[in-house]
Amino acid sequence: MRIRRAAVLLLLLWAPGAGAMTIERVTSPAGIEAWLVEDHTLPVVTLRLAFTGGAALDPTGKSGLASLVASLLDEGAGPYDAAAFQTRLEDLVTTLQFQAGLDDFSGSLRTLKRHLKEVEELLHLALTAPRFDLNAIERVRSQIVASLTQQAQNPRPLSKRLWMRDAFGDHPYGQNTEGSIDSVRAITREDLRGFVTERLHRTGLVVGAVGDLSGAELASFVDGVFGELPRGTSDAELAEARATEAGALQIMRLAVPQSTVTFGQAGPKRDDPDWYAALLANDILGGSGFRGRLMKEIREKRGLAYSVSTALVSFRHAGLILGTVATENARVAQSIALIREEWRRMREEGPTESELDDTKSYLIGSFPLSLDTSERISALLVEMQREALGIDYLSRRAALFGAVTLADVRRVARCLLDPDGLSFVVVGDPTDLAPSRTRPASRF
């Protein structure tokens, strides 16, 4: 049944100019807005919510606060201690998770229609009356410390974190979302409570829901969950940040047989008028799978790596083009030289007409396939609101790519891609490479 519905959805999205799935704007009696894709195929409701302001607003010395709160909201609330709350969720066959990003604090929920009322109460309790029992705090803190300890030995997250720290320096974007072992240990119960009172408010709240509920049912649900939250005011705005473009090459020595490299530089933010041209330039250069030029040069022609890709990363106050590759220790320099060379070639020559056409049709046509679950659709509903894309975005998306010309992509590639400003962080034991700066092994 569901399969047929999804197929119809895809056809609608593919049909040029056709309206995609219907997104309804619901405003609750208490004045809370939520976007809804109503779909009664399965008795399932999926909901995603996001508060503005995330880990980048963590106080100095307490980085990891938002993340610790996220891990603790489902560890006991109201009359339920951690075990009772988890058992309740299991009995209602409901998944409820919270997550802190740099710019927002989000939650996701999946439940069955018949449990919606009970789940409304649980989510309401989690957001307004989390218990923060001391034994739960200590248990979750130990789990996070263990995870940070593991990450410190894991080249991929390590190289990305080092890259972010070097690119943003003292700006909060340079902080690890999960914090450091020391900062996580410094967080108190009062800090956790303070976060909930100060940060979980209605200003900037965004909600997206998909599934077996009507607009009226969603309105009643959001009022039940968020109605009592303080109205709040906009959170303190961070300063705009720009990744440094020092063109540095740093090595963190780790005794592993293969090196992992994170590389990148400043890029456009999501609201940049050239966003779609930049997406196309990025995908032609470093698209994942076998699309990008980097993949052709580094994997297909030379077998240096299984994968190499780049992506545009847009934060609220900074944009990046960020890539990653992992290769054997003796051939890191070769991979890096190839990346710089492809960066230069794309900057100077831009893409060909056929590369641009292929990439446009890929980015337009693959999009509906990425919306094959309610969770992905509800995440999209939140992103559309968060980025102010407009409720009609899905019907305009193909045209936004279509309107980009070869001249646009060439112009954007010229200002986006600077091979000399491209910075690399290598984690591993490269044998063919001299750093411009070697980082001592650091403790996170």
Tell me which residues touch another protein (CB under 8 A): 1-3, 6, 42-44, 46, 82-83, 86-87, 89-91, 93, 110, 112, 135, 139, 142-143, 146, 153, 369, 372-375
CB of 50 to another protein, least distance (A): 21
For 262, phi then psi, to 5°, come to -110, 135
CB of 66 to another protein, least distance (A): 21
CB of 228 to another protein, least distance (A): 27
CB of 79 to another protein, least distance (A): 17
CB of 45 to another protein, least distance (A): 11
Residue that has been written with the tokens 């980015």 in this structure: 363
CB nearer to another protein: give 149 or 405: 149
CB of 422 to another protein, least distance (A): 31
CB nearer to another protein: give 223 or 372: 372
d(C-alpha 132, C-alpha 130), whole Å: 6
Spatial CA neighbour of 427 closest among 416, 436, 438: 438
Sign, CA dihedral 400-406-411-414, equals: positive
CB of 281 to another protein, least distance (A): 30
d(C-alpha 325, C-alpha 262), whole Å: 7
DSSP bridge partners of 265:
321
CB nearer to another protein: give 143 or 197: 143
Q: For the chain, how far is it from start to end, CA to CA, in angstroms?
A: 49
CB nearer to another protein: give 277 or 380: 380
How many C-beta neighbours within 10 Å does residue 256 have?
Answer: 15
d(C-alpha 26, C-alpha 208), whole Å: 10
CB nearer to another protein: give 90 or 348: 90
CB nearer to another protein: give 110 or 165: 110
d(C-alpha 187, C-alpha 59), whole Å: 10
CB nearer to another protein: give 146 or 337: 146
Length reported for the chain: 444
291 and 283 Cβ atoms separated by less than 8 Å: yes
